[in-house]
Structure 1
Amino acid sequence: MSLPLRYYTPVLLLFLFLMPQVLQAQELFTGYVLDAASEQPLEGVTVTASTGEQGISNGSGYFSLATAAAPKRIVFSYLGYKTEAVANPPAGRELRVLLAPDAASLQEVVITGYETNRPLLQTAGAVSLIEREVIERFDESSIVRAVNTVPGVRMEERAPASYRLSIRGSTLRSPYGVRNVKVYYNGIPFTEANGTTALNLLDAANIGRVEVLKGPTASIYGAGTGGTVLLEPRRPLPGEKALEVGTTVGSYGFRRYTATAGVGAEKSSLLVQYTRQRYDGYRAQSAIDRDVLLLSSEFRPSEKRTVSANLLYSNLYYELPGGLTLEQYEQDPRQARGGQFGSEAQNASLDLEGVNVGLKQEYRFNERFRNTTALYGLHKFKDNPFNTDYERNTSQEFGGRTSFAYDAQLGSVGATFTAGGEFQRGFEAARTYDNNAGTPGGLRTDDEVIAKAGFVFAQAEFELPAGFIATAALSLNDTRYDITRLQQASSGDYKYKKDFEAVLSPRVALLKQLSDQVTVHASVSSGFSPPTEEEILTSDGQLNEGLEAEKGTNYEAGVRGFMLADKLSFDVVGFYFRLKETIVSRQDVSSVAVFRNVGSTDQKGVETSIGYTLLDEPAQPLSLLKVWGSYTYSHFRFDEYQQGETDLSGNELTGVAPHAATAGLDLSTRFGAYLNLTANYVDDIPLNDANTVYADSHVVAGARLGLKRQLGNSLGLEVFGGVDNLTDEKYSLGNDLNAFGGRYFQPAPARNYYGGIRLKYAL
């Protein structure tokens, strides 16, 4: 269904107002100096002309150099980076200079997690980064394969665009969707007040970088015992003015089209991006049709103030093939669930349309005191015929987040104090009907749901002598649901309120810098995760009134750093997580997910990642050769679990593989050719709480080969091709846990191919 024009008009006017004014080129030697790996601006680069003049790049990487005569070359030098020289530089046209970092400079990768804005090497916590180049290793049909390169994280697709995200086993309560994990986009809440996250409204091309914070982070990010995911939007580079188009086609009717326009200046940027994706599907009843429009703007009207705004419009339709039994899976993995209430017969699918608007301001009162405030609103429609019912929902939500930070000097101890809060309010009109072969029949239930979630937080960080950094944080969290049943065929109307008890969630962390290359860290944190609206109000119209919030405490310690002349990077974390009032899901005879608190779980694990750069010489024919890998060991058990007369205590945690590993190889040449190889191993996975059914272990490999070339001064070309599931492995990517009737398996595609082209024109 289409949204009325009135929803778009004020937002489009806002973005027109924010549209940056492009700086006019000067009759000087001007341009921008960027990090060749991250393409972020570099401040303080020394710019020297062969005629003797010298300048320095500013915070945006911009430089301006006037010379008395035309220089034969301009040299760019910066500590930690390889010196670059531009021969016979053209006057009157902005230069774009990329400096290749030495391996040691990777220590300075800054993360935004925990709002400390520190280098990863100085961050006390299990944090993993997914950079843009990792997402582009694959066909960008989704971010599943990119996320699965990270240790401790597992992402699945029960059907194309039907995502499920697990951080340290958190899919135990997620038969579908993303739960128990808090997601932000550009620092603005993307997870809704009711605890659900429509991650499939985003396209992989909308994401510039991903930070994954593992374990409870409620001390600063609110409810969630699984972890927090911070997504950064795509933005044009400073000095960039370009148009980009691309297309990818592949097996099983895969088609994907992208168009991007970006303008970046010293104090402003604007990006407009449209993506369209179509896929006929590997299985019957598994097609997808998605359109996404992103407008991302940022500008700095003063040295103290930075304002950014995002508009995301998505129109998504995908089909649901349903789970198969083992016999069906072995017989024909491409079939959909059959029978009287089969997926094709009932047109099991989901039609989702939404607009998400966010506005964020960062304001620096002085050198010590600053504030970041974000506001957002969303409007969403959902039309969901399922095998046994038909749901039609519409929801509206608004919310905001603010934090104040103050830098202080307490004698010889540097300190940063942060305090703030977050509030979300959502309203949903939810109706369920009989499903008559894909059309709504008789009304079953008519509900109005108001969800409110909020918390306040405070954090103190101290830079102590002897290379110690200590952090203490605390938050007070509250969640409430007000459900009004306007009509129910069997029992009539009623009202129900659930106000979860406010919970204090602390976090204490300590980091010790052993050297410039190695740090160790340890932390203790607790968190809570209330049930989502979908867990309380199930699709069969029943209220799950007795469901309580999960609460857990996490202990972890780790070491990260660099060795062997900084060519080797490593990150190792061990943790112990104790979760109480654990929520698990199982299906009833009508395939409706039923949720229960079942005691506690005991989760111990080790997460490791490693990378080794064998060669990094941009001037050589073979310019880059790097190998990397990650490994996760999960010893997850039900500690106390009684199911009827059966004691399941000590069983393996459902849906979690004891061992998982990913390995990759990256190769690039000076002439623009590149090769990416990736392989992912997953151990046997228990599919029910009784541990009587397992998904087989599997190895899935993929490759991508491409060529990037600059054709003249303005046109860039990339041609690429790839293969997924190179060995034609038969496996299930999105298993239905505790499925009724043994319908556990959601088969993944067999060997499949893709190829594409991108053109980028610099204005």
Structure 2
Amino acid sequence: MKTTPFYIFLLILLLLGMPQLLLAQITVKGEVLNARNQQPLEGASVTANTGAQVLTAPDGGYTITVPENTAFLLISYLGFAPDTITDLRQQGLQQTLLRPQAATLQEVKVQGYETNRPLLQTAGAISVIGSEVLNRFNESSIVRAVNTVPGVRMDERAPASYRLSIRGSTLRSPYGIRNIKLYFNGIPLTEANGTTALNLLDAANIGNIEILKGPTASVYGAGTGGTILLEPKRATDGQELQVNATTGSYGFRHYVASYSSGSDKANLLVQYTRQQYDGYREQSAVDRQVLLLSSEFYTSEKRTIAANFIYSDLYYELPGGLTQEQYVQNPRQARGGLFGSVAQHASIRQDGINIGLKQEYRFNNSWQNTTSLYGLHRFKDNPFNTDYERNTNQELGGRSSLVYNSHIGSMAATYTFGGEFQRGFQTARTYDNKGGTPDSLRTDDEVISKAGFVFAQAEVELPAGIIATAALSLNDAQYKITRLRQAASGGQYEYTRDFKTVLSPRLALLKRITRQISVHASVSSGFSPPTEEEILPSDGSLNTALEAEKGTNYEAGIRGFAGHGKLSFDVVGFYFRLKETIVSRQDVSGVAVFRNVGATSQAGLETSLGYTFINDPALPINLLKVWGSYTYSHFRFKDYQKDDTDLSGNKLTGVAPNTATLALDAATKPGLYLNLTASYADEIPLTDENTVFADSYLVMGVRAGWRKQLPKQLVLEIFGGVDNLTDEKYSLGNDLNAFGGRYYQPAPNRNYYGGLSLKYKL
């Protein structure tokens, strides 16, 4: 009998076993969606515990074949909390909804330029201040958090009297915020007249800050200083009640009570804050109350509706500037004399209501639109040392942008079109100030402010990891001033200032060198018309000769991560040439007046570095990192002739050539944490002539606390801190070109605070 070859037996066994092998496989079909808006997530990872893996298609769908004994599938996507599927035999399409979560530093997405890309894919000098930085400091203000950003300096001439500089823009801002555009939850916070009442918000209202430096040109319209995007705090999943209380030196008290609710269908935050402060100096008390309602409703797969309501009642006192002799003798005193701050009850009371409504609508995978409408009412009552102002502002505005996602051949392209328009009406009256009460009427004005722009932007993903952006905006601004009465002359007049329409272009390139490192370069131009307060100062004069600033900015940078993500770096070099530069100078009465002085040349280097030694929740010390920033500013006047004196080549007033911040964060598994911060500022020229300088200073602060999850979904945090730990004597918020040598606004000496926070999950 003939023997059957061995390979024939193997072939028979294989054929007989094929059906059994097929039965031992499972095919799972599913889709992965964003739980918030039900939109598909392309590129989500679907991984079996046996090792098999696929990525989701553009429609969020996937098909994966796994062995019958597979225990689960892990669904993960960048910036979302992962989920698992354990019932692999379920019939039909397996649908997984992933919830958005806070991204890690490497994954953080930014809104800047409306690209909504990761920071590593965004061409431009953008800095992000997240909640982890904001929470390192007490909630008296956001000044300390903002000053950790390179190229940005924020001052408090008095508590709640903010001044903000991005790459030297303080020059035309003796008080208040000008030449910088601010948005809150995508809705303009800057008014049509060019000013921003940021102090109507409490620090506890803000959950995230993006700072775009220099002229952003395109999608944010006119401006040479920069753009800041503020986001409110967001609710986490579920319902939560929170109460915070902080108390500190010089009568500081701060209270927060909030309710939040987050789900797949809506996100709601209702927050009440109150801050009170007796003041380090005479005449420097603060009392502010803010009621914030911020909500988002995910009404369908295509539509998201957001609404904001902000009511603010703010009162703060103005101690005034001191001379060098007064500053040395007693930094806690207020400006004295017959027209001193105490005698004249120098202060500001502002009441404001800001209402905004925004809709995001996705027509399909290619087209989407975002439209917002807003209105505000603001009343300002301001007894000053030499006069008394009463202003009422009413404003309406809107913004809309349309985004189209397409392809040029195999290259992805995104086109953005839109516009923004604001119209404000202000009644402005000035009186003689008689001990804090209005006396004889000086001037009575009505001002209509209009500001608007249209923009277009194209972004193309070129081969070799290059992203190219081209953008253009067409900007217009107009003021109509009607003087109803002027006491000195009794005259009436109408004056209309319609600034010439200006085109502002922006070109940018970004190259991904590796997955964790990118370089970028851009050139952009900006135009910034004078604010209403610069054309119509409180002394009753009319500045008809003031022209808009225009400038061009060149910059290049590199950012990324190294050492397995432990080292982060962001370095930007820039050169900005500004023409028709606006500067301020105080007259004999202390009123700021403005003029154009030719050009400035501004070159600088901005760096951010961080290194995370430990970031492991399982270790006793589960977080240890150091980070910091450094800014070098070589800013000079060009073509500046003041009377018979040539000031060309002088250092730019109000800008420190060198600033730096160094910080350390540590946390432990039991819940103890420690934050250390040191900030340095070089000497600052206080006059255009560079004859007076504020001294350099190094200020340190520390915060420590204990955060613990208690039973019944209760989280308790107890904290305390010290500001100005080394008891440094310095001036924060110097008055530039001040009359009578009153340059200095002393900052508090060593001061303490402490408090607690309770969160309860319903």
What's the TM-score, normalizing by structure 1? 0.88
Describe the superposition over 1:204-254 as per-residue Cα deviations: whole angstroms up to 9, x where unpaired.
1111100000010122101210100000111201x2201000100000000
**Equivalent position SS for 1:343:** coil
Aligned to 2:726: 727
1:5-404 equivalences under 5 Å are 78=76, 106-237=105-236, 239-404=237-402
Aligned to 2:427: 429
C-alpha distance in structure 2 between counterparts of 1:288 and 1:139, whole Å:
16
C-alpha distance in structure 1 between counterparts of 2:455 and 2:152, whole Å:
26
Describe the superposition over 1:1-43 as per-residue Cα deviations: whole angstroms up to 9, x where unpaired.
xxxxxxxxxxxxxxxxxxxxxxxxxxxxxxx999xxxxxx999
2:76 and 2:82 in contact (8 A); partners too: no
2:273 and 2:289 in contact (8 A); partners too: yes
Aligned to 1:506: 505
C-alpha distance in structure 1 between counterparts of 2:532 and 2:461, whole Å:
42
Q: Which amino acid aligns with 1:581?
A: E
Change (3 A) 1:740 1:124: same
For residue 714 of structure 1, report the CA deviation from its aligned partner.
Answer: 1.5
**Equivalent position SS for 1:525:** strand
Change (3 A) 1:347 1:100: closer
1:220 and 1:457 in contact (8 A); partners too: yes
C-alpha distance in structure 1 between counterparts of 2:670 and 2:47, whole Å:
26
Change (3 A) 1:204 1:45: farther
2:222 and 2:504 in contact (8 A); partners too: no
Aligned to 1:699: 698
1:477 and 1:504 in contact (8 A); partners too: yes
Aligned to 2:597: 598
For residue 46 of structure 1, report the CA deviation from its aligned partner.
Answer: 6.8
Describe the superposition over 1:98-150 as per-residue Cα deviations: whole angstroms up to 9, x where unpaired.
9997xxx5322110010000100010000000001111111110000000000
C-alpha distance in structure 1 between counterparts of 2:761 and 2:646, whole Å:
65
**Equivalent position SS for 2:564:** coil
1:582-731 equivalences under 5 Å are 582-731=581-730
C-alpha distance in structure 2 between counterparts of 1:311 and 1:582, whole Å:
36
For residue 713 of structure 1, report the CA deviation from its aligned partner.
Answer: 3.3
Aligned to 1:13: none
1:74 and 1:85 in contact (8 A); partners too: no
Please point out which of 447, 459, 462 is paired with 1:461.
459
Aligned to 1:9: none
Q: Which amino acid aligns with 1:223?
A: A
C-alpha distance in structure 2 between counterparts of 1:381 and 1:98, whole Å:
39
C-alpha distance in structure 2 between counterparts of 1:309 and 1:47, whole Å:
39
Aligned positions, number = 700
Change (3 A) 1:423 1:80: closer
2:195 and 2:531 in contact (8 A); partners too: yes
Q: Which amino acid aligns with 1:120?
A: L
Identity %: 70
Aligned to 1:443: 441
Change (3 A) 1:85 1:486: closer
Aligned to 1:518: 517
C-alpha distance in structure 2 between counterparts of 1:429 and 1:330, whole Å:
41
Aligned to 1:69: none
For residue 317 of structure 1, report the CA deviation from its aligned partner.
Answer: 0.1
**Equivalent position SS for 2:691:** coil
Structure 2 residue 422 is the aligned partner of structure 1 residue 420:
no
For residue 79 of structure 1, report the CA deviation from its aligned partner.
Answer: 6.7
C-alpha distance in structure 2 between counterparts of 1:158 and 1:611, whole Å:
31
1:444 and 1:488 in contact (8 A); partners too: yes
Q: Which amino acid aligns with 2:147?
A: N
C-alpha distance in structure 1 between counterparts of 2:98 and 2:277, whole Å:
38
Aligned to 1:471: 469
C-alpha distance in structure 1 between counterparts of 2:101 and 2:390, whole Å:
53
**Equivalent position SS for 1:219:** coil
Name segments (4+ residues, structure 1) moved above 3 Å: 41-50, 73-86, 95-101
Describe the superposition over 1:390-448 as per-residue Cα deviations: whole angstroms up to 9, x where unpaired.
00011100000000010111102111011100000000000000000000000000000
Q: Which amino acid aligns with 1:343?
A: S
C-alpha distance in structure 1 between counterparts of 2:402 and 2:154, whole Å:
34
C-alpha distance in structure 2 between counterparts of 1:522 and 1:98, whole Å:
31
For residue 321 of structure 1, report the CA deviation from its aligned partner.
Answer: 0.1
**Equivalent position SS for 1:342:** coil
**Equivalent position SS for 2:326:** helix
C-alpha distance in structure 2 between counterparts of 1:441 and 1:47, whole Å:
76
Describe the superposition over 1:482-514 as per-residue Cα deviations: whole angstroms up to 9, x where unpaired.
000000012211111100000000000011111
C-alpha distance in structure 2 between counterparts of 1:709 and 1:696, whole Å:
43
Please point out which of 450, 453, 474 is paired with 1:452.
450
Q: Which amino acid aligns with 1:478?
A: D
For residue 270 of structure 1, report the CA deviation from its aligned partner.
Answer: 1.1
1:84 and 1:99 in contact (8 A); partners too: no
Change (3 A) 1:46 1:759: farther
C-alpha distance in structure 1 between counterparts of 2:409 and 2:244, whole Å:
56
C-alpha distance in structure 2 between counterparts of 1:628 and 1:337, whole Å:
39
Aligned alpha-carbon RMSD (Å): 2.7
C-alpha distance in structure 1 between counterparts of 2:47 and 2:373, whole Å:
40
Aligned to 2:761: 762
Q: Which amino acid aligns with 2:566?
A: K
1:448 and 1:485 in contact (8 A); partners too: yes
2:81 and 2:100 in contact (8 A); partners too: no
C-alpha distance in structure 2 between counterparts of 1:729 and 1:313, whole Å:
36
Q: Which amino acid aligns with 2:699?
A: V
2:399 and 2:418 in contact (8 A); partners too: yes
C-alpha distance in structure 2 between counterparts of 1:650 and 1:382, whole Å:
39
1:75 and 1:83 in contact (8 A); partners too: no
C-alpha distance in structure 1 between counterparts of 2:83 and 2:44, whole Å:
16
Describe the superposition over 1:173-226 as per-residue Cα deviations: whole angstroms up to 9, x where unpaired.
000000010000011110000000000001111111000000101221012101
Of structures 1 and 2, the larger Rg is shown by 2
Change (3 A) 1:445 1:300: same
Aligned to 1:25: none
2:600 and 2:637 in contact (8 A); partners too: yes
For residue 97 of structure 1, report the CA deviation from its aligned partner.
Answer: 10
Q: Which amino acid aligns with 1:256?
A: H
Q: Which amino acid aligns with 2:498?
A: D
Please point out which of 477, 480, 485 is paired with 2:478.
480
Aligned to 2:551: 552
C-alpha distance in structure 2 between counterparts of 1:686 and 1:488, whole Å:
37
1:600 and 1:639 in contact (8 A); partners too: yes
For residue 649 of structure 1, report the CA deviation from its aligned partner.
Answer: 0.2
What's the TM-score, normalizing by structure 2? 0.89
**Equivalent position SS for 1:372:** strand
Unaligned runs of 5+ in 2: 1-32, 36-40, 59-70, 85-96
Describe the superposition over 1:550-606 as per-residue Cα deviations: whole angstroms up to 9, x where unpaired.
000000000001111211010000000000000000000000101000000000000
**Equivalent position SS for 1:466:** helix
Aligned to 1:29: none
1:33 and 1:45 in contact (8 A); partners too: no
For residue 81 of structure 1, report the CA deviation from its aligned partner.
Answer: 9.5
